[in-house]
Structure 1
Amino acid sequence: MSTGIRFRLSFMMFLEFFVWGSWFVTLGTFLGTNLNATGAQIATAFSTQSLGAIIAPFIIGLIADRFFNAEKILGFLHLVGGGLMFYMYNSTAFAGFYPFLLVYMILFMPTLALVNSVSFNQMADPEKSFSGIRVWGTIGWIIAGASISYLFHWDSSENLAQGLLRNTFLMASIGSIILGVFSFFLPATPPKADKTQKLKISEILGFDAIKLLKDKNFAAFFASSILICIPLAFYYQNANPFLAEIGVADPTGKMTIGQVSEALFLLLLPLFFKRFGFKKTLLVGMVAWVVRYLLFAYGNAESGLPLLIVGIALHGICYDFFFVSGQIYTDSKAGAKFKSAAQGLITLATYGVGMLIGFYIAGIVADMYLLEDGTHIWQSIWLIPSGIALAVVIFFLIFFKEDSKKVSNLN
């Protein structure tokens, strides 16, 4: 791969996740402080990610894989997305904000697959080359969060009261438009599917891989993957509002510690996987969710701040040790015929169904522990996902037996 192509792909990844990180982390805080949204409304807003994840395979399978170059679709979706972000920036009520967010997420979620497609198309050996490109996405997310807290201070108590957090959508809008224009200068990635071949919806959604559930171990893993997304949704939806409400300084900037941790533990994952195997790796990831929420429950903005920082830093173990290792395990179990279908199925189940349920439950719980003064009983809120994660750990311990099959990707 030439230096020029490597730079373009890296900048594409940087902008992709800079745009997402510009507004997604602070969405719950924005909705609660700027639009006076209830917990149920905030849950509805976050669930647009799940709806986008469910619809995304149709956009990729029906359009990108068959008719148009991936980089051109990527450019079009981000240009439209930039316009939608600008409308969200100007919204003054949840009823006017939500429709734009819903359409935006339906258009944005397919771009996560498109940037991968554009990258893979330029790589002779993706296993060696992709991580060096993808890491720029994590850097983009970190810089977005750090800018909000340490450069612009939009999430400070004073600026929150003035409604300046809405500027995150303007920043995302500008970033999306830049990426939209830049996408048309990316390497050409033409469609590879045969337009004349009859298209199966079951293939697009990954349903052809459903026969893998006959394997008891995979079925236990599949069920655990859906269930663990319930506590995961609590983090995405409530972590930033929680930190802001209890008075933690620069909450968005501090949450970027989670992305730094994610990058570091991603490097350690292969070593851990080889030494301890899949079951122990997954268990560590799930137990980390239990511990993280206990730390959130008993931490505070003063003497308990180290507990919160450790809880945020556990994100690398929580995400990498369960979700990334789970993707690798799915790939190893699927075999050549069902590799793509299996990944599609697990993505649909987790980011689609699992997190849709999780956001709904998180919204109900947030409203249950809402006080008259607008604050929350956060200890009670965080103990619930901790308990759910513990139940998933027990379920997995009982029904998943150590798999003797080696994972080729890590050997």
Structure 2
Amino acid sequence: MKSKIWTQLSAMMFLEFFIWGSWFVTMGIYLPAALEASGAESALAYATQSWGAIVAPFIIGLIADRYFNAERIFGLLHLVGGVLMVFLARAETFAVFYPYVLGYMILYMPTLSLANSICFYQLTDPAKQFSFIRVFGTIGWILAGLSISFIFGWDSPEGMAQGALRNTFYLAAGASFLLGLLSFILPKTPPQGKGSGKTSIRDLLGLDALNLLKDRNYGIFFAASVLICIPLAFYYQHAGQFIGEIGVSNPAGKMTLGQFSEILFMLLLPFFFKRFGFKNTIIVAMLAWFLRYVCFTYGDAGEGVWLVLTGIALHGICYDFFFVSGQIYTDHKAGPAIKSAAQGLITLATYGVGMLIGFWVAGKLTDEFALGPNAHQWDQIWIYPAGFALLVMLLFALLFKNEDVSYEH
């Protein structure tokens, strides 16, 4: 790959996840502190991620695969998203905040799939090359969080008292405008679905990507993607709360272990993927999900703190080996005419349907085992996602037939 293209794609991934990490992590603190939002309202705000992911395939199928270059749509979405981020920063009540965050996530979630499509169009060997570009997204997420905490101090007690967390939305807006402008000089990714003849509503909505589900193996993978994201939602929604409640010091700092491990395993992924194949890579990811929740079940803030930290550090395997491998597999299975829509389909399965169910289930279980406002029976809660992840892993191992995921050029 030319060094110029590698630099452009890496910068794109860096800003893509810098934007998300700038505001999404601290929104759970910002909403009750600045807007006096209830727990239910905060859950509604986080669920916009899933609604955006559900809508994403239709936006992509409507325009990205048939009519316009992916990088141009990508840039336009980020420019409009930057405007919505400014409105989010200025919202004074949750009633005003919610429509903007919903609109923003409907625009942002398709950009995840578009970023993948832009990369895969340029790569000659995605199984080997993609992770070395995607790792810059993780670096962007980490630097966003570290900037908020250690450079600007917006989440410090003093910053919180001054309402400084509002600036996280301005930070995301600035990065969105920058990425939106840079998108127009990204490598050209023309639509692959153009063709002669009449265009049907099915074509316009990108529903041809659903044909992937007729492939037995891909159908099994799709179902596994939905199911495994149910226990994943427990981690995103409650891991930080769990660490803080049991008395582990500096919980926000400890949680960054997960992102640092992402970098390590993102770099190891191509070698593991080539050596052991797609099926074994996915099984290892699901096993890590199970082990993570076992660690949380038996960990504590004393002698068992190493179990808690191990559970966090397993996030790199959980995320990279499953999500990134799944994106590579989806690109391999999709034909050239539906590459963008296919990436939108897997985004719908994971960030959309799976995590939407998972957020709801996690909230119900956490309320069921509540001992008070800031106390829960966490050893009972974590048993459920652990058992569910193990069940999904066993079913996938039994039903999915191993296949070679390679590219010919």
CA contact (8 A) 2:45 2:98 kept: yes
How far did residue 278 of structure 1 move? 4.7
Question: What do residues 265-299 of structure 1 show as CA deviations (whole Å, max 9, x unaligned)?
Answer: 23333444455555543332222112212323443
Match of 1:208 in 2: 211
Paired residues of 2:120 and 2:331 also in contact (CA < 8 A): no
- Is the contact between residue 26 and residue 241 of structure 1 (CA under 8 Å) also seen in structure 2? no
Query: CA 1:245 to 1:42, structure 2 compared with 1: closer, same or farther past 3 Å?
Result: farther
Distance 1:360 1:352, change over 3 A: same
Aligned amino acid, residue 400 of structure 1? L
Q: Which moved more, 1:150-159 or 1:255-264?
A: 150-159
Residues 1:59 and 1:189: Cα distance change in structure 2 (over 3 Å): same
Counterparts of 1:178-193 in structure 2 under 5 Å? 178-193=178-193
User: Taking structure 1 as reference, are residues 189 and 285 closer, same or farther at Cα in structure 2, changes over 3 Å only?
Assistant: closer
Task: Name the stretch that deviates more: 46-55 or 29-38.
Answer: 29-38
- SS where residue 60 of structure 2 aligns? helix
1:240 Cα offset (Å): 3.2
Give how far 1:235 is off: 1.5
Q: Does 1:224 align with 2:239?
A: no
The answer on whether the counterparts of 2:213 and 2:219 sit within 8 Å (CA) in structure 1 is no
Bigger mean CA deviation after superposition, 32-41 or 84-93? 32-41
Q: What's the CA shift string for 1:26-45, capped at 9, x where partnerless?
A: 33343354445444433322
Q: Which residue of 1 aligns with 2:261?
A: 261
Rounded Cα–Cα distance in structure 2 between residues aligned with 1:175 and 1:381: 37
In structure 1, the residue matched to 2:93 is 93
Going from structure 1 to structure 2, the CA distance change for 1:186 and 1:395 (only over 3 Å counts) comes to closer
Specify the alignment match of 2:28 in structure 1: 28
What is the TM-score with the length of structure 1 in the denominator? Answer: 0.83
Aligned residue for 1:295? 295
User: CA 1:4 to 1:286, structure 2 compared with 1: closer, same or farther past 3 Å?
Assistant: closer
Q: Which residue of 2 aligns with 1:110?
A: 110
Is 1:119–1:130's contact at 8 Å kept on the other side of the alignment?
yes
Counterparts of 1:136-215 in structure 2, within 5 Å, are 136-156=136-156, 159-160=159-160, 163-194=163-194, 197=197, 198-199=199-200, 201=202, 204-205=206-207, 206-212=209-215, 215=216
- Closer, same or farther in 2 for the Cα pair 1:65/1:270, shift >3 Å? closer
- SS across alignment from 1:68: coil
TM-score scaled to structure 2, two decimals?
0.83
The answer (yes or no) to whether the contact 1:28–1:238 under 8 Å persists in 2 is: no
Task: Identify the residue that residue 282 of structure 1 maps to in structure 2.
Answer: 282
Residue 141 of structure 1 and its aligned partner are, at CA, apart by 1.2
Cα deviation, residue 229, structure 1: 0.7
Residues 73-82 or 338-347, more deviating: 338-347
Partner Cα separation in structure 2 for residue 377 and residue 302 of structure 1: 17
Q: Which residue of 1 aligns with 2:348?
A: 348
SS in 1 for 2:186: coil
CA distance in 2, matches of 1:317, 1:368: 30
> What are the equivalent positions in structure 2 for 1:263-342 lying under 5 Å apart?
263-273=263-273, 276=276, 278-301=278-301, 303-329=303-329, 334=333, 340=339
Distance 1:239 1:392, change over 3 A: same
Return the offset for 1:17. 1.0
Distance of aligned partners of 1:389 and 1:133 in 2 relative to their CA distance in 1, 3 Å threshold: closer
In the alignment, residue 351 of structure 1 is paired with which amino acid?
Y
CA distance in 2, matches of 1:78, 1:373: 38
Q: Which residue of 1 aligns with 2:16?
A: 16
Paired letter, 2:101: L
Moved more, 340-349 or 104-113: 340-349
Q: CA deviation at 1:160?
A: 4.8
Letter in 2 for 1:83: V
Letter in 2 for 1:208: N
Match of 1:400 in 2: 399
Structure 1 unpaired stretches of 5+: none
- 8 Å contact from structure 1 (residues 71, 118) kept in 2: yes
Contact kept? 2:110, 2:344, Cα under 8 Å: no
Bigger drift between 319-328 and 305-314 goes to: 319-328
Deviation by residue 1:85-122 (Cα, 9 ceiling, x = unmatched): 22222334333222111100000112123333444455
Give, as a single letter, the amino acid of the residue that structure 1 aligns with 2:389: A
1:321-365 deviation digits (Å, cap 9, x = unpaired): 333334455566x47589847655443322221112112212223
CA distance in 2, matches of 1:290, 1:125: 31
> What is the Cα deviation at residue 232 of structure 1?
0.8
Q: Distance in 1 between matches of 2:116 and 2:334?
A: 21
How far apart, CA to CA, are the structure 1 residues paired with 2:143 and 2:315? 17
Equivalences, count: 404
Report if the CA contact (8 A) 1:155-1:250 is conserved: no
Distance 1:154 1:365, change over 3 A: farther
| 8 A contact 2:278–2:403 mirrored in 1 | no
